[in-house]
Amino acid sequence: MLTQDKVMEALQHVQDPELHKSVVELNMVRNVQIDGSAIKLEVVLTIQGCPLKGKIREDVENSLKNIGASSVDVTFGAMTKEEREALTQSLKKGATTESGMPAMLKPDSGVTFITVTSGKGGVGKSTVTINLAVALARLGKKVGILDADIYGFSVPAMMKVDQKPTMIDQTAIPVVSHGVKVMSMGFFAPGNSPVMWRGPMLNKWIKNFLVNTHWGELDYLLLDLPPGTGDIAIDVAAMIPQGKEIIVTTPHHVASFVASRAGAMAKHTKHDILGVIENMAYYEEQDGSKNYLFGKGGGELLARQLETDVIAKVPFANPLESNGSSVYDEDSFVGEMFTSLAEDLLHRKQKAV
């Protein structure tokens, strides 16, 4: 026999797809009516136009039919302003310190921060960021990307993300793509409009992305920094002193020379340098020979200057390996290379514990 308690117990396993919490815990289930084996109920959404309403309906119907419901009638409503404010406070509870900074910035938070930087643009820094993040997620880790390149944001376009974060009052719920939570200025700039801000506003938005984004549980947060050693790089170094850095360059010696400044800054701010990634290292011809379009040796030269290692040499890849986005298929050559890199980072972390 179906009862109110059995219905609520079954719905404990249905999660809001964006908040990743039970719809029962979030007090989204209302007006449950049971008539024999037929169930009617209302699900109150955080916002009226929730893009994942269909997913919630499907999960509710499946959960209740699994306990014997012959029919399930789900209607939807929306939370009141007061309910959204209470939910926002609940989401933020424990997420910030007394000073207002995110609790995940505390050294003992369990979150590993990896900043991906370069000396100049166009070397593939964002490509490295998203593929390393996806590789870590494929290995079962909870991963986020903060596209901190405020002027040159590109992560949403590169990951083919065509939706925007859900906003609950002033709290943003990151978009999830390829199993990775993503936040970027690209979600908030209309069209492809340029962002024309100076230092103080940049700092405010980076802090805002950290404080007012519901990241939930994370093992890794990768920050795609703008190239060079400007305001954002300095602010991030101050906010996240425990951050670890990957420096991206091409084999060209000029790119390597410029990237050395970013590496020198990492040393100055006492960030650990995980290593150098040499992107666009070569192009593999059909006969298997390697064509070094940008020359050789830039990665090794940079690594020697920074007293670190070249942790990957990423070749030019066939566009067919990425299905139209910049995320490479897991079983492609480049995809396997990033999987190996992610496994190496996990191994290093385990050894450090």
Percent of the chain with pLDDT over 70: 88
Q: Which of 47, 64, 79 is the last residue of a domain?
A: 79
Q: Is 95 within a domain?
A: no
Q: Which of 77, 73, 27 is nearest to 50 (CA)?
A: 77
The arithmetic mean of pLDDT across residues 183-194, rounded, is 71
pLDDT, tens digit (0-9, with 9 covering 90-100), for 113-136: 999 988 888 888 999 999 999 999
Given a cut of 60, whether residue 200 has pLDDT beyond it is no
At 144-179, the pLDDT tens digits run 999 988 777 889 889 988 888 888 877 888 989 999
Share of the chain above pLDDT 90, in %: 42
What are the Cα distances from residue 82, in Å, to 42, 76, 88, 182?
19, 18, 10, 28
Nearest Cα to Cα of residue 265 among 242, 245, 239: 245
**Domain total for the chain?**
2
Is 56 a domain residue?
yes
Residue 160's domain comprises: 103-352
Question: For the residues 226-230, what does the mean pLDDT come to?
Answer: 72
Mean pLDDT of the chain: 85
Distance, CA of 168 to CA of 91 (rounded, Å):
10
Q: What is the pLDDT of residues 53-68, one digit of tens each?
A: 889 999 999 999 999 9
The whole-angstrom separation of Cα 32 and Cα 184 is 39
- Specify the pLDDT at position 23: 93
Same domain as 164, residue 72: no
* Residue 285 β-bridge partners: none
With respect to residue 154, please indicate whether it lies within any of the assigned structural domains.
yes
CATH number at residue 114: 3.40.50.300
Domain harbouring 16, CATH code:
3.30.300.130
- pLDDT, tens digit (0-9, with 9 covering 90-100), for 233-283: 777 777 777 889 999 999 998 888 888 887 778 777 778 889 999 999 998
Same domain? 239 vs 332: yes
Q: Is residue 194 part of a domain?
A: yes
- The pLDDT of residue 188 is 77
Short-list 96, 195, 92, CA closest to 148: 195
In a domain, 37, yes or no: yes
Q: Which of 103-107, 207-211, 229-233, 320-324 is least confident? A: 320-324
